């Protein structure tokens, strides 16, 4: 049978000609629709003889007792028919939209910085394997990072003397490695090469690190922040 829930207030006794309704008087009760009678209130609380449903319930029970077993059906235009939910095809159900992840383009700057760092690291490994000449190239990269790139017309000893004893000693090693006699030449060249002091790559790289520290101390603060990821040494010839 059609039913509904009604929310209202219980009747309160009159006091001095006024009825005071409080929040504690709020209540709810069901109503059932009967053909020809309309919505009839019922009191589901046992033992409650007061309220708007007490008299209506007794009246309905008396009417039901006096009616026949087969009441005449009547149309109920005011009562909406009970609509059964229609079957939904599985294909018609929209798939839940996948949550949007973090955009990939946001990782582009991070990947670029990682690429520059790896390129700089590979460059330093090549310089370290190149002996004194590679150590001097490391010094030149440090000068570029600090914004102190020397003019191409200056010589290696001239630039090395500006950075103390370590720079001067490294400049001597670079000149000896670049212009000194090499093993493998015949006669006098071989004897000169054996008599000369051998160049130690590790010593040259240690001197290059000392010069690099001195150069970095002369750099500005923002150049020190981007020192490891600055791409300018990669474009130095």
Q: Closest Cα to residue 61, out of 84, 32, 30?
A: 32
C-alpha 129, offset from chain centre: 41
User: For the residues 3-22, what does the mean pLDDT come to?
Assistant: 81
User: For the residues 149-173, what does the mean pLDDT come to?
Assistant: 87
The rounded distance, in Å, linking the Cα atoms of 18 and 215 is 95
Average pLDDT, the chain: 76
Domain ranges within the chain, ordered by starting residue: 1-11+21-68, 107-235
Q: Can you tell me whether residue 114 is helix, strand or coil? A: helix
C-alpha 94, offset from chain centre: 28
- Percent of the chain surpassing pLDDT 90: 2
pLDDT band at 81 (very low <50, low <70, confident <90, very high): low
User: For the residues 214-223, what does the mean pLDDT come to?
Assistant: 89
Reported pTM: 0.48
Residue 179 has φ and ψ, to the nearest 5°, of -120, -10
The rounded distance, in Å, linking the Cα atoms of 93 and 88 is 7
């Amino acid at each position: 049978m059609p039913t509904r829930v009604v929310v209202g207030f219980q009747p309160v006794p009159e006091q001095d000609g006024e009825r005071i309704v409080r929040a504690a008087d709020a209540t709810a009760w069901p109503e059932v629709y009967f053909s020809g009678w309309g919505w009839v209130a019922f009191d589901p609380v046992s033992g409650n003889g007061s309220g708007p449903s007490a008299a209506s319930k007794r009246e309905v029970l008396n009417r039901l007792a006096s009616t026949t077993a087969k009441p005449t059906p009547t149309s109920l235009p005011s009562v909406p028919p009970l609509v059964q939910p229609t079957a939904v095809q599985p294909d018609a159900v929209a798939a839940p939209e996948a949550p949007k992840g973090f955009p990939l383009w946001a990782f582009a700057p991070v990947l670029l910085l990682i690429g520059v760092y790896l390129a700089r690291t590979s460059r330093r490994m090549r310089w370290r394997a190149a002996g004194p000449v590679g150590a001097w190239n490391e010094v030149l990269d440090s000068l570029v990072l600090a914004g102190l790139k020397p003019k191409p017309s200056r010589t290696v000893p001239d630039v090395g003397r500006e950075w103390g004893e370590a720079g001067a000693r490294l400049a001597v090693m670079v000149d000896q490695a670049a212009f000194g006699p090499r093993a493998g030449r015949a006669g006098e060249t071989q004897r000169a090469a054996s008599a000369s002091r051998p160049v130690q790559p590790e010593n040259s790289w240690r001197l290059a690190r000392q010069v690099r520290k001195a150069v970095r101390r002369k750099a500005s603060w923002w150049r020190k922040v981007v020192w490891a990821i600055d791409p300018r040494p990669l474009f130095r010839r």
